[in-house]
Amino acid sequence: MPRLLEIHKASKAFHSPEGGTITALDEVSLSLSSAEFLTLLGPSGCGKTTLLRAISGFEPLDRGQITIDGQEMTDRPAHRRPVNTVFQRYALFPHLTVGRNVSYALEIAGTPKAEIRTRVGEMLDLVGLAGLGQRGISQLSGGQQQRVALARALVARPKLLLLDEPLSALDKNLRRQMQLELKRLQEELQIGFVFVTHDQEEALTMSDRIAVLAQGQIQQLGTPEDLYRHPANRFTAEFLGESNLLPVALHDGAAILADGQRVPASGRGTSTLMIRPEMLGTAPVADGLTFAGTIRERFYSGTSNLLIVETQAFGMLQALLRADAPIAVPGSPVTLYAGRADLHIIPGGAT
Amino acid sequence: MKCVTPLGLYGVLFLAFVYAPILLVVVFSFNANPINMMIWDGFTLDWYRLIFGMEAKAAESASYIDSTAQLYAAVRTSFVVAFATTAISTLFGTALALAVSRFRFRLAGFYRGILLVPMIMPDIVLGIALLIFFVTIGANLSIGTIIVGQCTFLISYVFVTVSARLALLDETLEEASADLGATPLQTFRRITLPAIAPGVLGGALLAFIISMDDLVITYFVAGTGDTTLPIHIWGMLRRGIKPEINAIATLMLLFTLVVAAAGLYFRQKKE
């Protein structure tokens, strides 16, 4: 059975106003099994939006190939591709009612009137806007417009839905709620989602898999746990979550830290050891690493305490402790411990 | 009594400066004095009666409308020209605006610029140029040359009006439409056209009013048999300002106001 989406060596360059070229996509390959929630994550200008627009057909590729459900898409115009998109600013048709916005794809497809009515009703139910079909777009709140955009893109029952930073215009609480709803929708409908965002927290919360993009290339592709715990390179480690990155020398089956502490590791040369702030604690651990230092700052967030600890050998370290852990005041000495299982050496990662 | 501020006084004077002459024309059109219209001699509708070829009590010697038939012919010519030029310039002006805003091509800015030139070109230059052009290609001056001549600059007016509206249109709406399966033609009909309709309508009304009103360019390219209303009035004026002209001017003013009001009304209704 063909995969739902297959991208093979997609490349695209733009001309910059200064006369040079900007590589937006550099031989990106990617595939999506059906009913998967894939997130394209990266900073602005990394190529994630270009990749999404290449899938929807708005950005022709310079080289490479895209197939959807086994069908070649590369030269097919946008209106003949079996995907639908939720746009960043929703792009709802202002002169049409909510109902007519949602029914648009069906009207174009020539679906019988009675069926259109039923399916639009179902869609509005699904996104929680039942009974608002007669409303004008300008009468809706941002969250409601978001739901209309979703209903409009889902009404034709695409197998693949593309979402271009759809939550970026919402305030924080609404965002959180929509994240959960989108995930629920995707699981309920059992279709593929390709979701573009620059928000790493959003990506971790919702995705089955995440592709981290930078400079037109996929830096790493994997499950959220995978990416968070075992980043393949420094970029991923720094982009996803907070981290303490310590230079190490690999030698004789061990990674040697600047202060002489050792942890077992293979390889040679220099590399980077990553310790997530929440992996550092004040309770002693039998065989791990120990960092003695002075508390410089403390940030309390309700669920946790973030300590900034100054150490002799490594400069500032961040440690995220549970809020109920005993905490000394800034200025006092502290010893932090990290278990061996919680350490990650970034492969090939000369600093 | 409220104190009159200098700014308030300025405002009143300014309005008087702009509207007093027009108001005078309207008032004079009802003045019964056939010799000196500056002297009020009672209210009359005689000048309007004369225009429409009806019996009038006013001294017949005062009438300079040689024949009502000629006036009617001029009005008819003006309407034929206005409808034709409006249709042509709206079609081409809108198409041009779409092309310049939607297609990315080199020199797009240059094209936009040269489309604006006919609007600022001195009428007399355009008139002479058109006349020489028509004579050179051996075209008989007729109602056809008036229509072609007026379209050369009316297209620019429509282009500008529609372009302004297009600039407000979010292009992702067209992408959203394509994304939902609409062909480019369907997208144009269902999304683009409704969005720019007020601009198209505004451009059409503008073209219509300007066409009805144009004297200089039309004067150059009109054949002897094809007299538009402004040319007819110009001809009358050369034999002195007579009260009937005030009545004709008042009616033209009324007509223009009605067209403009209709335009505003439909525009408001759209939004």
Of B45, B60, B75, the one marking the end of a domain is B60
Rounded-to-integer distance, Cα A127 and Cα A184, Å:
11
Name which of A53, A81, A95 to mutate to probe chain B: the one with the most chain B Cβ atoms within 10 A of its Cβ.
A95
Residues A265 and A213 in one domain: no
Q: Rounded to the nearest 5°, which phi and psi values hold at B70?
A: -65, -45
Domain CATH code at residue A121 = 3.40.50.300
- Among chain B residues, the shortest Cα distance to A138 is held by B271
pLDDT at A35: 87
**CATH number of domain containing A315:** 2.40.50.100
Confirm whether A351 is domain-assigned: no
The confidence score (pLDDT) of residue A351 equals 42
Domain count within chain B: 2
Q: Are B37 and B94 found together in one domain?
A: no
Interface test with A, best of B179, B188, B196 (most A CBs within 10 A): B179
Q: Do A77 and B178 touch (CB under 8 A)?
A: yes
Assess whether B174 and B193 both reside in one domain: yes
Is residue A292 within 8 Å of residue A259, measured between CB atoms? no
Q: What is the pLDDT of residues A193-226, one digit of tens each?
A: 999 999 888 999 899 999 999 988 999 999 999 9
Cα separation, A81 vs B182, whole angstroms = 11
| Mean predicted confidence (pLDDT) in B120-148 | 92
Chain A positions touching B184 (Cβ under 8 A) are 79
pLDDT at position B76:
92
With 50 as the cut, is the pLDDT of residue B66 above it?
yes
What is the number of domains present in chain A?
2
Q: What is the pLDDT of residues A126-156, one digit of tens each?
A: 888 888 889 999 999 888 999 999 999 999 9
Alpha-carbon radius of gyration of chain B: 23
Of A183-192, A321-330, B70-79, B141-150, the range with the lowest mean pLDDT is: A321-330
Residue A347 has pLDDT above 70, yes or no: yes
What 3-state class would DSSP assign to A305?
strand
- Does the pLDDT of residue B64 top 70, yes or no? no
Same domain, A98 and A219: yes
pLDDT tens for each residue of B151-207: 999 999 999 999 999 988 888 999 999 999 999 999 999 999 999 998 999 899 999
* Closest in A79, A88, A94 to B181, CB measured: A79
Name chain B contacts of A160, Cβ cutoff 8 Å.
none
Which residues on B lie below 8 Å from A78 (Cβ)?
A: 175, 178-179
| B172 touching chain A per CB within 8 A | yes
Query: Would you call B185 an interface residue with chain A, using a CB distance cutoff of 8 Å?
Result: no
Contact A156 B181 (CB under 8 A): yes
User: Average of pLDDT values for A342-348?
Assistant: 83
Q: Sorting pLDDT into bands at 50, 70 and 90, what band is A264? A: confident
- Judge whether B168 is closer than 8 Å to chain A, CB to CB: no
Cα–Cα distances (Å) from A116 to A150, B18, B174, in that order, read 17, 57, 22
Contact B173 A91 (CB under 8 A): yes
Q: State the Cα–Cα distance between residues A113 and A104, nearest whole angstrom.
A: 12
- The Cα A101–Cα A12 span in angstroms is 32
* pLDDT, greater one: B36 or A45: A45
| B51 and B154 both lie in a single domain | no
For residues A256 and A249, give the distance between their C-alpha atoms in angstroms, rounded to a whole number.
Answer: 5
In a domain, B265, yes or no: no
Q: What tokens appear for A154 in the block?
A: 């889902």
Cβ contact B145:B223 at 8 Å: yes
In-domain check, residue A272:
yes
Last residue of a domain, one of B60, B76, B106: B60
For residue B93, the domain's CATH number is 1.10.3720.10
pLDDT of residue B271: 54
What one-character-per-residue DSSP string does B239-251 give?
A: T---HHHHHHHHH
Q: How confident is the model at residue A350 (pLDDT cuts 50, 70, 90)?
A: very low
Residues B27 and B84 in one domain: no
Residues B40 and B115 in one domain: no
Beta bridge partners of A68: A5, A71
The partner residue sitting opposite A91, judged by closest CB among B176, B182, B187, is B176
Structural domain of B110 = 67-240
Domain boundary among A200, A234, A268: A234
Both B72 and B30 in one domain: the answer is: no
Tell me: do B96 and B191 sit in the same domain: yes
Contacts of residue A307, defined as CB under 8 A and 6 or more positions apart, other chains included, come to A295, A297, A298, A318, A319, A320, A321, A327, A334
pLDDT band at B43 (very low <50, low <70, confident <90, very high): confident
Q: Whole-angstrom distance between the N-terminal and C-terminal Cα of chain B?
A: 42
Q: Do B178 and A156 touch (CB under 8 A)?
A: no
- How many angstroms separate the CA atoms of B99 and A35, rounded? 41
Same domain, A90 and A187: yes
Within 43-102 of B, beta carbons closer than 8 Å to A belong to none
Contact B170 A91 (CB under 8 A): yes
The residue segments making up the domain with residue A250 are 242-346
User: What is the residue type of B117?
Assistant: V
Domain boundary (A234, A267, A282) is at A234
How do residues B224-240 score in pLDDT, each as one tens digit? 888 899 998 888 888 77
Q: In this complex, which of B170, B186, B194 lies closest to A108 when CB atoms are compared?
A: B186
Residue type, A268: R
Between A318 and A350, the more confident residue is A318
Q: What pLDDT is attached to residue B270? A: 60
- Residue A247 carries which DSSP code? E
- When CB atoms are compared, the residue of A79, A93, A156 closest to B191 is A93
Q: Is the pLDDT of residue A255 over 50?
A: yes
Is residue A56 less than 8 Å (CB to CB) from chain B? Answer: yes
pLDDT more than 70, % of chain B = 93
Q: Write the single-letter amino acid at A100.
A: R
Contacts of A56 in chain B (CB under 8 A): 179
Nearest residue of chain B to residue A86 (CA atoms): B176
Min Cα–Cα distance to chain A from B173, Å: 5
Q: Single out the residue of A345, A176, A278, A58 nearest to residue B172, CA to CA.
A: A58
- What is the structure's pLDDT at A24? 87
The Cα–Cα gap between A239 and A226 comes to 14
pTM of the model: 0.79
Q: Do residues B28 and B52 share a domain?
A: yes
Residues paired with A306 in a beta bridge: A299, A320
Q: Are residues A183 and A276 located together in one domain of the fold?
A: no
Task: Report yes or no on B251 lying in a domain.
Answer: no
- Contact call for residues A270 and A245 (beta carbons, < 8 A): no
Say whether both B49 and B73 belong to one domain: no
Check A93 against B184: CB less than 8 A apart.
no
